[in-house]
Amino acid sequence: MKKNKRFNRRDFIQSSIRASLVVSVGGIGGLALKNSTGRDWVWQIDPFECNQCGRCATECVRNPSAVKCVHAYDICGYCDLCGGYFIPGAVKLDTGAENQLCPTAALIRKFIEEPYFEYEIDEDLCIGCAKCVKGCTSFGNGSLHLQIRHDLCRNCNECSIARVCPSKAIKRVPSDTPYMIKGSFTKTTDT
C-alpha cells in the first residue's frame, strides 16, 4: 500500500506563492485586455436637456471653460435677425458691439446673400456661457448649442460642471461617440 506524502508547511507556502503569481499575472493581463478593448467614457452635454444656465462658463476647472458653443448649420435658419447674435430689441441689425449678445464677441456674423447670414463661432473667444444658445433656443431654431470639447476637457473623474448642472444635462458617453451634435444627434424618445 502506497503511503500518502505529507503536505508540509513549505509545500503550502510554495503553492500559495505560485497561485498568487498566477492570479496576479492573470489579473494584470485581464485589466490590460479590458483597457485595450473596453470602452472609455467621457463627459458630454445633452443639448436637449441643457437649460442654458451659464454654469458651464463658471464651474469648469479649465479657464476658459472646455465647454464651447457649436453650431448645427443644417438646422440654422441663417436669419438676419438672429436671436443668438442680437440682444432683444437691438438698435440696428449690424455687427456693432452694442447690438451683440455674446459677451466676448465670439459669434461672427457673415453675409451670405440677401437676406441670409451665417453665424460662426470663434472657439478661442467662446467661454461657453450659453447666452447665444438661450437666445437661439428662445427665438430661433436652436441650432446653437453647447458641447464639451474633448481636446480641452480634462475628463475629470467628477466633472465640476456636472456636479452643479441644474438640469443634469452633463453625462458620461462612450468615447467612440463623444459628441451629441444637434441635427446628426437626435434625441431618443421613450416609446
Partner 1 sequence: MKKSVIYIFLSLIVIIILIIVIGDFRSTRPDRMSGNPYKLNLDRIKSVDPNLVTYQETKNYRINARQAGGIAVAGEKIYLAADTFLQVFDYAGRQILKITLPEPAGCLEVSKQGDIIVGHRNAVALYSAAGEMKWRSEPLDERAVITALALKDGTIFAADAGNRAVHLYTAEGKYVDSFEGKTSIEGNHGFIVPSPYFDLGVNPDGELWVVNPGKLALENYTDEGNLRSYLENISPEIDGFSGCCNPAHIAIMADGSFLTSEKGVVRIKIYEPSGELSTVVALPDKFMEDGEAPDVAVDEEGIVYALDYDRNMIRIFEPK
The residue ranges that bind partner 1 (CB under 8 A) are 52-55, 57-59, 76-83, 88-89, 101, 103, 114-115, 129-131, 134-135, 137-141, 163-166
- φ, ψ at 159 (rounded to 5°): -65, 125
Task: Return the bridge partners of 111, or none.
Answer: 117
For partner 1, which is the closer residue by CB, 129 or 173?
129
CB 152 within 8 A of CB 62: yes
Residue among 114 and 151 whose Cβ is closer to partner 1 = 114
Give the nearest distance from C-beta 101 to partner 1 in angstroms. 7
Closest approach of partner 1 to the CB of residue 136, in Å: 8
The answer to whether 44 touches 154, Cβ cutoff 8 Å, is: no
Vertex 32 angle, CA 31 and 37, to 5°: 100
Nearer to partner 1, 58 or 155 (CB): 58
